[in-house]
Homo-oligomer: A and B are copies of this chain.
Amino acid sequence: MKEKIRCAVLGLGRLGYWHAENLAAKVKGAKLASVVDPLAGQAEKVARELGVAAFSQFPEEVMADPAIDAVIIATPTSTHAEMIKLAATHGKHIFVEKPITSRLDLADELIEVIEKQGVHCMVGFMRRFDPAYAEAKRRIFAGDIGKPIYYKGISRDPGSPPPEFIRHSGGIFLDLSIHDYDIARFLLDAEVESVSAHGRILLHDFMQEFSDVDQAITYLTFDSGAAGDIEASRNASYGYDIRGEVVGTEGTLMIGSHKYHDVHILNAQGKTHSIVPAFPQRFRESYLLEMEHFIESLRKGQKPSVTQQDGRAALAIAIAARQSFEAGAAVSLHTPTKPEDSSVV
């Protein structure tokens, strides 16, 4: 096993900073060797905070640096393809935030270069590493609910990101539901065959400008005979609300709770516990767990459990959902083993 994986983090927004923090101090077997951000001064500031030796404004520098084994790409989605190609051609292993990219043809190009260069690529579907989802996978795999026949997902943000974020987000299916598309594939162990999507603006009228909605539902059918529905919402005024359910032939399995603190107060208003307010309180730990998996996989020379193919598969579903939403009709997917088929895009 390799002693240390020397990493560079590219993009020091919230997620990039978390990855940098984790690699600097918490992930065994990792060494954070460099941090990169195009914003003047940002990389230097983070490097100082985390005690990292090197920093840069230019991704090309770390890509060319033989002292770097792996890059963590947390830059805007629009730059993912370029970063991945650069990293792969320099022989760096890759961790890239979801979505892997925003076009299927690009995704296919990336898969080709990644596989040709023989590097490992992991896509940041961190929910798979959340203790509850991971336990769900184990229980389903153990046969505890029989054969899985239905996936039901709810992902509700406590409000909308700002208009500038929405403008570049790719829409609610690509930005938010993609987590459920990945988890549905993961938990059902099946591929999506057809997608129907609906949605409406319930509260955030500004989304009209971006042809986006703040409330959506996706109905999926799977090649295993299963089906599923996935709700996405920007309208949960009460907190951050992530729920999953897998119905099986011998039972059902529910994932998640809204509970923030294990404290209940009972008074004249009733019995109350506080609710997870936002994304960091719910999934911060998952970012550490996924990075531990990435580093451990590299140290053992193994493929990570979530790859570029998973990134492509979830992207294909999200694109089909968007198409279905616009067309008002179901869209069929072909399996990701035949990426030359263009029926989706």
Contacts and interface: CB of A to CB of B under 8 A. Distances in A.
B255 A262 contact: yes
A233 B226 CA distance: 13
Interface string A232-267: 010111110100000111111111111111111111
A202 interface: yes
A269 B271 CA distance: 11
Interface residues on A, range: 35 or more
Q: How many copies does the complex hold?
A: 4
B255 A263 contact: yes
A208 to B, nearest CB: 13
Contacts of A237: 146, 248-252, 267-268
A219 B221 contact: no
A77 interface: no
Contacts of A329: 328-329
Contact of A26 (B26, B255, B328): B26
A294 interface: no
Contact of A219 (B217, B225, B271): B217
A113 interface: no
Interface string A124-164: 00000001100110010000111001101000000000000
Interface in A284-329: 328-329
A180 interface: no
A229 B267 CA distance: 21
A68 B255 CA distance: 47
A275 interface: yes
A103 interface: no
A330 interface: yes
A271 B258 contact: yes
B265 A231 contact: no
Q: Output the residue of A131, A225, A272 with the most chain B CB within 10 A.
A: A272
A217 B235 contact: no
Contact of A254 (B136, B196, B264): B264
A275 B271 contact: yes
